[in-house]
Amino acid sequence: MNLRVLFFCSCVFISLVGCKTKTQQTKPTNFIVIFADDLGYGDLSSFGNPSIKTPHLDQLAQEGQKWTNFYAAASVCTPSRAGLLTGRLPIRSGMSSNKQRVLFPDSNDGFPKFEISLAAQLKKVNYATACIGKWHLGHRKEHLPLQHGFDYYFGIPYSNDMDTPQEVYAEKGGYWNLIADPKNNLIENFNVPLIRNNKIIERPANQNTITRRYAEETISFIKKNKDQPFFVYLAHSLPHVPLFASPEALGKSSRGLYGDVIEEIDQGVGSIIEALEEEGISEQTMVVFTSDNGPWTLFNEQGGSAGELYAGKGTTWEGGMRVPTLFWQPKNITPQIVHHTGSTLDLFHTFSKIAGVQLLDDRQYDSYDLSSVLYKNKESKRDHFFYYRGTDLYAVRLGSYKAHFISEGAYGQFGKKEQHDPPLLYHLDHDPGEQYNIAKENPEIIYKIKFLVEEHQNKMVAGKDRLASRGKEN
């Protein structure tokens, strides 16, 4: 009897010690968001591209989750980035506009003080934070990353096609002629600054090596902060035109220069994953790969592909806002192809939930917690999505259906602005290319979507337009 009691007590002791050890080994999750610029839905081999080789991203797709119905917060740079970092539709913060679609080097405003960035949110629980790459939320000091929750910044403050000297415009016959010819992809034609923290360290930035340097900076930050939780927002400047690639990457892809750019981004992803594995922190690090909007199809071979989706960057058609998205965290995230709806807006709530940070109750969020999909194989809490262009609501998705109340092309492409009453209606599971209008056959679906729109717009409080004001730089 005594032996049985002793044996029982020993088992309990071992069990308790085991539980304690497991608890001690449980560490906070690190987060890395890799955000491509103008990457199309059909530009990765794991999403069907027949020419571009992306083996490292394909590995993430196989070992993690590939989301097929994932949306950027907007169809152009500035509002899309604001949405990701705040978990709020950009109209709420004033980071969208009908007058200026994005911020420029002479813009007077930027990321507002009252917004809490994802970096600032994670700082509340002692995360080390870095923004590496394209910012495009204001170039003046008060708007740069270090003033909004990031401990470190290395990157270009706006798009890589900006700051062209006027004499270059005159010589090349204007912006479109300059960008349309890849022979003009010269460092000196684009006087963009490279900033470390708040200081310009290189101008013009050497864009031939910028993709590789972004990956190297990310790896360096990981190694320096491996013993504490960290968040890295790696926002590539490419494949936004003009296209640049390092000498090691040039001529390697059968897709030409555009393919070279994507394959170099993929190589950088592989280097980052390798660093996580070498440091023994891959299992506690969530990596998310996605894009800020769809491809800039206006530039033909220099632009990407939306695959089966219609149109591209700048539009509220699927090709403009549905983006290729991967989640990876080995032995934690359930590997699968996910057909549920999600958005870059949802990263804010998802990361906050995983890190144990409460959302503020003084503002309206548009972010959903996706952690139950990632870790427990449950359905997404997001069943709808609002497609804004500037400050106007153009389309709404509810379940598998999408209604277009307004449609418009990008920069003169794919048709002029047009109001639709009744709205155009598409079943996105049956018709992701939005080819077959089924509005007449589904009045009840349109009614439900209109009710959702009315409820949404009645509660919407738009922020002050922060993109419209432009002037000479101080």
Q: Does domain 387-459 have CATH number 3.30.1120.10?
A: yes
Q: Which of 56, 77, 240, 349 is catalytic?
A: 77
| pLDDT of 457 higher than 80 | yes
Which pLDDT score is estimated for 15?
A: 38
Task: Please state the rounded mean pLDDT for residues 155-162.
Answer: 98
Q: What is the pLDDT of residues 173-198, one digit of tens each?
A: 999 999 999 999 999 999 999 999 99
Task: Please state the rounded mean pLDDT for residues 102-126.
Answer: 98
Which pLDDT score is estimated for 2?
A: 47
Least confident of 177-181, 242-246, 470-474: 470-474
Task: Please state the rounded mean pLDDT for residues 61-88.
Answer: 98
| pLDDT of 412 higher than 70 | no
Which pLDDT score is estimated for 20?
A: 33
Which pLDDT score is estimated for 91?
A: 98
Share of the chain above pLDDT 90, in %: 92
Which pLDDT score is estimated for 413?
A: 67
| pLDDT of 129 higher than 60 | yes
pLDDT band at 301 (very low <50, low <70, confident <90, very high): very high
| pLDDT of 22 higher than 90 | no
Q: What is the pLDDT of residues 341-392, one digit of tens each?
A: 999 999 999 999 999 999 999 999 999 999 999 999 999 999 999 999 999 9
Homologous superfamily in CATH for domain 28-383: Alkaline Phosphatase, subunit A (3.40.720.10)
Task: Please state the rounded mean pLDDT for residues 144-158.
Answer: 98
Write down the domain spans for the chain.
28-383, 387-459
| pLDDT of 4 higher than 60 | no
| pLDDT of 17 higher than 70 | no
Q: What is the pLDDT of residues 430-439, one digit of tens each?
A: 999 999 999 9
Task: Please state the rounded mean pLDDT for residues 446-470.
Answer: 98
Which pLDDT score is estimated for 410?
A: 86
Q: Which of 11, 56, 131, 136 is catalytic?
A: 136
| pLDDT of 261 higher than 60 | yes
Q: What is the 3-state secondary structure (H, E, C) of the chain?
A: CHHHHHHHHHHHHHHHHHHHHHHHHCCCCEEEEEEECCCCCCCCHHHCCCCCCCHHHHHHHHHCEEEEEEECCCCCHHHHHHHHHHCCCHHHHCCCCCCCCCCCCCECCCCCCCCCCHHHHHHCCCCEEEEEECCCCCCCHHHCHHHHCCCEEEECCCCCCCCCCHHHHHHHCCHHHHHHCHHHCCHHHCCCCEEECCEEEECCCCCCCHHHHHHHHHHHHHHHCCCCCEEEEEECCCCCCCCCCCCCCCCCCCCCHHHHHHHHHHHHHHHHHHHHHHCCCHHHEEEEEEECCCCCHHHHHHCCCCCCCCCCCCCCCHHHHECCEEEECCCCCCCEEEEEEEECCHHHHHHHHHHCCCCCCCCCCCCCCCHHHHHHCCCCCCCEEEEEECCEEEEEEECCEEEEEEECCCCCCCCCCEEEEEEEEEECCCCCCCCCCCCCCCHHHHHHHHHHHHHHHHHCCCCCCCCCCECCCC
pLDDT band at 416 (very low <50, low <70, confident <90, very high): confident
Verify whether residue 11 is a known catalytic residue: no
Verify whether residue 136 is a known catalytic residue: yes
Q: What is the pTM of this model?
A: 0.94
pLDDT band at 1 (very low <50, low <70, confident <90, very high): very low
Q: What mean pLDDT value characterizes the chain? A: 94
